[in-house]
Structures are given as C-alpha cells and as structure tokens.
C-alpha cells in the first residue's frame, strides 16, 4: 500500500465533502451548539431542573396575601422579587386563574404561640414554569418565617437538638453538570459518529455509482481506496473537535487538558470509523449498512457507558483537570483495539479487492 495513492484519495474525498449537504448541516448544527453554548445551557438545564432558572430571574411577580395579618406579609413586602396585594381569598384565586397573579398565599387565624401548627396554604398554577420559579423564591421567605415561629415556640423544646455543620457550597452545579458532563463530551464525540456514518456513504456510493472499475483501473488499489476514505473521515474528527473546543473557550468555558482530549477523541473515533468501513464493505448498500451500523453503534455506546472508565467519562475528567494515570491505560487499550481493527480492515479490503478483480 503506497502512501502517495492514499493521499490522492484523501484529497479527492475532501473536495467531495463540500457537496455533502447532510454532513454540512450536521457540522453547522454542532457549530451552533458550540457557539451558543452559554445560551443553550440556560435553556436545557431548565428542562430537567426548572428551579435553576430562579437564579436568572429578575422579574417582580404579583402575589396576593389573604387571611390573617402576620410578619410573613412584611417579609413578602420587603422582598425585591414580589409585589404584594392584600386581597380576600376568593377574588385572589380568581385572579390567579386569570393569570393576573403568580401566587396566592393564605395565612389562617392562628397565633404564632398557639398550640397547633400554622398551616399556610400556597396557591400556584400547575405545570407552569413561572410557578416553579415563584415556589423557589417563596421558599426562602417561608423558611425565614418558620425560624421566627420556632423562636416563639422555643420554650416547648424538651430536648437539645443535635447541631449539624454542613460544608459551604459555591453553587453552579447545573452549569457544571451540563457543560462538563454533557456538552463537551457530546461535541467532541459527535464528529466521530458523523465521520463513521460518512465513511459508509463514501464506500457504498462507489458500488451504487459503479465507479469502482474506473477507480481500480488506475494505479490506486482497492485497499488504498478504502484507507483513503477512512483517513479522510478520521482527519475530520480532530478538526471539528478543535473548532468546537475553541468556540467553547470563546464562550468563557475553561477546559483544563485540551491536548489530552485531542488524543483520546482521535484514538477513540478511529474505532467506529473502521467498523463503519467494514460494515460498508460487507453490505455494499447504503441503507442496509447504515441501519446495521446505527443499531450496533447504539448497543456499543450503551455498553461502553456502563463501564466506569469509558472515553466520555474520561473526557469529562480531562476537561476539569482531574484525570489520573489511568488515562494512558485507556488510551493504550483504545489504540490496541484500533490496531486490531486496522489489520482486520486491511485483510478484508484485500479480499474484497481480489474478488472484485476476479469478477
């Protein structure tokens, strides 16, 4: 196998990629995700944790206070998050249903030092994002009022409570989980999935367009043709991953070990690309090859994610600077699998090429 011939195929495939609209749209989608990652972080985290939006809300919500007068009303008035209106319960609930109010708070006629509990009733709209934000903001006010009630009733405590010292938290958990646990692994490994699907198209189109005879009539062998397509797809991965990481850095997202991520992603992406090439050589028809490969890829991804030391987990640890010496063991294992698959691809491509020439 001559490197010169493989290089010619690589250049040919890179020129042809400009006409692949599906691939270009996929790349543009990743570009959008990387370029607007800070904006998407707010939107996507609100899907699985709506209460996280409360920290970004600066709107003053209209709430109604009904029932007995208490210091809870004073806490609400002093809050910068609410405009408080004293109303009767029935018209307040009606206004809430008409979405003129964000919440209604009803306080019963129970003295703070009474024997029974003070049962405060909160009315909000169900399945409403605004209601979730209001609940989070009201929680702090309710806790403050609860402390006041506990102070008033402290003479009833017969046993000394056990003091708890909890470590201070810095917040930002949602941002950390989304960016380092999802966004960075998704962006750097998505090019590998696209490239592995692309190599199937590049190989099967030679069969469907009946251009193999013309191609192998040149000094380029069938095996060199296959490896040229594989290498072209492999080169796309670090190029795209580098662009996405650069855009994340522009967004102000700190990434600790960029070279380590490059090594892991480049090595790991070679495995699905070679498997895609083997699938295309076996089925030689695009629809069947893509279906079989996609199904197998989903199963393989689920299996890999079940392992503690998987490439996605490692990329997360590399991004935050917490990866240890095991990153080199994982890299060595990935390279070993890639070498075995390379030998298998080379032999299978030689076999298919000889059958093509004989036929």
Domains, in order of start, for the chain? 3-35+172-358 (no CATH), 52-154 (3.40.1710.10)
Percent of the chain with pLDDT over 70: 81
State mean pLDDT over 164-177: 60
What pLDDT, in 10s, does the model give residues 5-41? Answer: 777 777 777 677 666 665 666 666 666 665 555 555 5
Decide: residue 46, CB within 10 A, 0-12 exposed, 13-18 middle, 19+ buried: middle
Dump pLDDT digits (tens) for 111-169. Answer: 888 888 889 999 988 767 677 778 888 888 999 999 999 888 888 777 776 776 756 55
CB atoms within 10 A of CB 144: 14
DSSP β-ladder status, 61-67 and 82-86? parallel
For 111, phi then psi, to 5°, come to -65, 150
Yes or no: say if 72 and 120 are a contact pair by the CB < 8 Å rule.
Answer: yes
Cβ–Cβ < 8 Å for 241, 262: yes
Say whether pTM exceeds 0.85: no
CA–CA separation, 221 and 219 (whole Å)? 6
Rounded to whole angstroms, how far apart are CA atoms 194 and 31?
14
Residue 323 has pLDDT above 90, yes or no: no
Least confident of 64-73, 222-231, 239-248: 239-248
Lowest mean pLDDT, pick from 46-60, 141-155, 261-275? 46-60
Alpha-carbon distance of 224 to 237, in angstroms, equals 20
Does residue 193 sit in helix, strand or coil?
helix
pLDDT recorded at residue 331? 87
pLDDT at 189 (0 to 100): 85
Q: Provide the strand spans (E) within 99-251.
A: 103-107, 121-123
Q: Using 50, 70 and 90 to split pLDDT, how confident is the model at 322?
A: confident
Report which of 313, 279, 273, 305 is spatially closest to residue 293, judged by C-alpha positions.
279
Q: List, edge to edge, every strand of the sheet that includes 103-107.
A: 82-86, 61-67, 103-107, 121-123
Q: How far is the C-alpha of 177 from the C-alpha of 164, rounded, in Å?
A: 27
Mean pLDDT of 258-271: 89
Backbone CA torsion sign across 6, 10, 13, 15 = negative
Closest by CA position to 264, among listed 336, 330, 309, 308: 330
Confidence of residue 358 (pLDDT cuts 50, 70, 90): low
- Position 36 scores a pLDDT of 58
Q: What is the reported pLDDT for 314?
A: 86
């Amino acid at each position: 196998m001559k490197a010169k011939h493989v290089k010619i195929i690589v250049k040919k495939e890179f020129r042809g990629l400009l006409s692949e609209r599906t691939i270009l749209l996929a790349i543009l989608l990743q570009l959008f995700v990387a370029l607007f990652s800070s904006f998407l972080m707010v939107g996507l985290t609100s899907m699985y944790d709506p209460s996280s939006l409360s920290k970004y809300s600066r709107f003053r919500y209209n709430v109604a206070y009904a029932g007995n007068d208490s210091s809870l009303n004073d806490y609400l008035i002093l809050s910068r998050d609410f405009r408080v209106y004293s109303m009767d319960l029935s018209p307040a609930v009606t206004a809430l249903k008409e979405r003129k109010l964000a919440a209604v708070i009803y306080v019963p006629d129970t003295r703070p030092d009474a024997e029974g509990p003070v049962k405060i009733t909160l009315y909000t709209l169900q399945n409403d994002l605004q209601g979730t934000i209001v609940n989070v903001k009201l929680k702090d006010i309710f806790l403050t009022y609860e402390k006041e009630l506990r102070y008033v009733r402290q003479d009833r405590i017969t046993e000394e409570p056990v003091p708890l010292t909890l470590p201070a938290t810095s917040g930002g958990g949602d941002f950390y989980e989304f960016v380092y646990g999802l966004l960075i692994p998704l962006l750097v490994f998505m090019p590998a999935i696209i490239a592995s699907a692309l190599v199937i198209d590049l190989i099967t189109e030679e069969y469907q367009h009946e251009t193999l005879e013309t191609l192998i009539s040149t000094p380029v062998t069938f095996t060199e043709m296959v490896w040229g397509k594989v290498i072209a797809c492999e080169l796309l991965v670090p190029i795209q991953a580098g662009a996405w990481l650069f855009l994340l850095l522009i967004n102000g997202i700190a990434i600790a070990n960029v070279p380590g991520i490059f090594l892991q992603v480049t090595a790991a992406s070679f495995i699905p690309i070679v498997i895609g090439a083997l699938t295309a050589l076996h089925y030689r028809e695009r629809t069947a090859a893509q279906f079989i490969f996609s199904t197998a890829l989903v199963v393989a991804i689920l299996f890999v994610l079940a392992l503690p030391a998987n490439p996605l987990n490692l990329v997360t640890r590399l991004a935050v600077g917490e990866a240890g010496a095991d990153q080199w063991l994982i890299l060595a294992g990935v390279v070993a699998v890639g070498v075995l698959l390379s030998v298998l691809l080379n032999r299978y491509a030689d076999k298919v090429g000889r059958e093509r020439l004989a036929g």
